[in-house]
Structure 1
């Protein structure tokens, strides 16, 4: 059985985690509880961190989206942020700021993976499933694949 951590260690552990990267409040709670700290001790500390702006779910969401948007669409990004305890209001706000570039990102992901228009219906379905697995919306997928078809016709 591992010994209980000292209360003074809580602040130091939380700051060490935040120094490495942004965390959502829920992530930090989970990690600190796993380290043996009690939720009753964690909550007031994280409240103080939020007051000092050392901890921010909005900043975490912005950072997460910036790091992952090149490989994922808004559906997947929203799901990932929800899993990390970020509120729907923050998710909507952060993803709303990035909505304009969704089609461009989907085209980049498609170009990197496939580069050529689908030769038949089976290939088109495969490409669509791939983009769907990356979290792009059906409308963005349709536009991405159809623009690939147009480019192929123009070059052919």
Structure 2
């Protein structure tokens, strides 16, 4: 690999990570879009990972915090992280580190959208449940938010 290409890849990765955490897969996709070859950038990403400059665990933790702030549940978070090649184990470590209260979050999300009052009829209850399901909450979280444990 030409030294110039190596420097360009290092510079691109550094700029990406300076703005926010990125998964290794995300960095690879962005470098591929910039026209770099995988055999050129893969070892450099590995160097960044070994030096703990890039970390999929930190990326997952940032995504968990972001999901909680946005009112997204664990299913939606899991689907999003799967797109970035973050495995289930790394996700569970990040969730344990952040310790979000999914039950309280589901309640807050429901109250923000529909208010404090209970649904008037079956149709309204279904609408609220579907909304929480769309937001990525598990059935147990939804039932808790709807007032039934």
TM-score of the superposed pair, with normalisation by structure 2 = 0.90
Extract unaligned runs of 5+ from structure 1: 148-156
Measure, in 2, the Cα distance between the counterparts of 1:37 and 1:74.
Answer: 34
Kindly indicate whether residue 118 of structure 2 is the aligned counterpart of residue 120 of structure 1: no
Q: Unpaired segments of 5 or more residues in structure 2? A: none
Distance 1:127 1:84 in 2: 30
1:2-17 matches, within 5 Å, as: 6-17=5-16
The answer (yes or no) to whether the contact 1:33–1:39 under 8 Å persists in 2 is yes
Q: Deviations over 1:108-153 (max 9, x none)?
A: 1111101121000000000000000000001110111026xxxxxx
- Please name the residue that 1:62 is paired with: 61
TM-score (norm 1): 0.86
- What whole-Å deviation, never above 9, does each CA across 1:85-115 have from its counterpart, x for those lacking one? 1112101222344565000111111111011
Indicate the structure (1 or 2) with the bigger Cα radius of gyration: 1
Instruction: Could you list the structure 1 runs, at least 4 aligned residues long, displaced by more than 3 angstroms after superposition.
Output: 96-100
Counterpart of 1:84 in 2: which secondary structure?
coil
Alignment size in residue pairs: 143
